[in-house]
């Protein structure tokens, strides 16, 4: 038997980098954007006054998604940066002070730093997402160094430190801990810990004492306390900050369909922390209460669905599956309930789970809408959620502003028998079984 190994894209890392790209903030100095702020925005020092961030971010996202090398990244990006004038040493003006200074803009070395930092931080966010998902089975993290002549003494002193995932020590000492830091964290089960000890690995379970120093941010005048061994601006947990900034399902509206499909391929990631949040929103929407968002995203189109739509020359604008407050009320209105076609409320409150792991997905050939099918306890019929692809409507965001958004909208939900769904003239089975 031949086994073909296929590379799996680092979904969590890609999503973290994608999320940062939603806010492109040109800056003049690296001290302008401090620590955790990097998790929610993308910037490059000395980029102020140059229209380059979008292309740099796109190049990084492509490299991370496709697994391309730094050489390929730099080869594609360098001509664009040179055409924008962002290359070599030049006189530039500090937008805050008005002072003109000589500064190094683009260069192969700078691109290497940009590439290395963003790859490491994105992977750290991806790793932390895994730590959170698996901490019940793998509750410990081990600090791991590459032990060679380049390893910093303070980092070497923490090699083989083992602490619980939720230990406060990781709030500061979580790699990368500075420029060019190559350290990583490794998740461990209790069995892993016992096995390493049996193999003679010198694990320790109490963190070494920190020696602190003051660092004055010359851009703001603020004084930061930084442990010896951590570079200024890195005394935080880049992975956890990136994980916490990962798009909740509500942010999937702006995500490209292909990225949404990658997210949907990992239901655990998709549902973080959407199920509880959605249940609260659903309850308020059902009674006509004022909700922060009149439309929320509760899922994403999967790869099989995208492929099926593509075969019919349909390319969705968004990968998100959304629901509007009015749709919730429509599902639950009394006239529908009296006909026995309403899905129980306790089931509908778990809509993110139903969409992430349906029993089957069908394409309605009459209007190219989608039916997500699921089991309903105590009923021999199936539950269905009907989704209209590329439905445009007005929405109100958290800032109170209204605008038009095109998503894949949940129009209704109800009960349906298997015989109805077996009509292959009307329905195409995309995935799952009935």
Q: Please write the tens of the pLDDT for every residue from 288-321.
A: 766 666 777 788 888 888 888 888 888 888 888 8
Confidence band for 397, pLDDT divided at 50, 70 and 90? very low
For the chain, the domains span: 11-244, 247-432
pLDDT at 3: 46
Instruction: Quote the mean pLDDT of the chain.
Output: 82
pLDDT for 346 equals 87
> Which token pair is 333?
């209105």
Confidence of residue 254 (pLDDT cuts 50, 70, 90): low
pTM listed for this prediction? 0.60
pLDDT of 251 above 60: no
Q: What is the pLDDT of residue 329?
A: 82
Judge contact between 251 and 187, C-beta under 8 A: no
């Amino acid at each position: 038997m031949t086994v073909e190994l296929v590379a799996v894209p680092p979904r969590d890392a890609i999503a973290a980098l994608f999320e940062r790209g939603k806010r492109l903030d040109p800056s003049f100095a690296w001290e302008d954007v401090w620590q955790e702020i990097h998790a929610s925005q993308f910037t490059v020092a000395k980029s102020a006054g140059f229209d380059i961030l979008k292309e740099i971010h796109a190049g990084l996202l492509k490299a991370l998604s496709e697994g391309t090398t730094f050489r390929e990244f730099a080869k594609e990006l360098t001509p664009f940066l040179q055409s924008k004038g962002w290359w070599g040493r030049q006189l530039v003006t500090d937008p805050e002070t008005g002072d003109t200074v000589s500064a190094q803009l683009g260069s192969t070395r700078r691109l290497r730093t940009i590439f290395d930092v963003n790859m490491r931080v994105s992977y750290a966010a991806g790793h932390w997402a895994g730590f959170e998902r698996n901490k019940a089975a793998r509750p410990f993290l081990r600090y791991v160094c590459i032990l060679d002549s380049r390893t910093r003494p303070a980092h070497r002193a923490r090699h083989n430190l083992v602490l619980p995932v939720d230990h406060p020590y990781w709030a500061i000492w979580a790699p990368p801990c500075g420029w060019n830091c190559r350290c990583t964290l490794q998740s461990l089960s209790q069995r892993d810990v016992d096995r390493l000890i049996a193999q003679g690995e010198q694990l320790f379970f109490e963190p070494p004492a920190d020696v602190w120093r003051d660092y004055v941010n010359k851009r703001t005048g603020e004084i930061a306390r930084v442990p010896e061994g951590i570079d200024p601006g890195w005394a935080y947990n880049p992975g956890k900050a990136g994980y916490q900034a990962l798009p909740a399902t509500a942010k999937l509206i702006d995500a490209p369909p292909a990225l949404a499909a990658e997210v949907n391929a990992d239901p655990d990631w998709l549902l973080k922390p959407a199920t509880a949040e959605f249940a609260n929103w659903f309850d308020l929407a059902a009674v006509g209460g004022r909700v922060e968002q009149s439309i929320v995203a509760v899922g994403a189109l999967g790869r099989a669905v995208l492929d099926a739509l593509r075969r019919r020359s349909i390319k969705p604008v968004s990968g998100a599956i959304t629901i509007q407050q009015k749709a919730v009320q429509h599902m639950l209105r009394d006239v529908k309930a009296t006909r026995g076609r309403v899905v129980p409320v306790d089931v509908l409150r778990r809509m993110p789970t139903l969409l992430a792991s349906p029993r089957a997905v069908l394409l309605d050939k009459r209007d190219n809408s989608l039916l997500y099918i699921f089991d309903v306890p105590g009923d021999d019929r199936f539950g269905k959620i009907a989704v209209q692809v590329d439905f445009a409507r007005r929405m109100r965001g958290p800032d109170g502003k209204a605008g038009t958004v095109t998503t894949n909208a949940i129009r209704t939900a109800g009960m349906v028998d298997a015989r109805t769904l077996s009509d292959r003239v009307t329905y195409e089975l995309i995935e799952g079984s009935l």
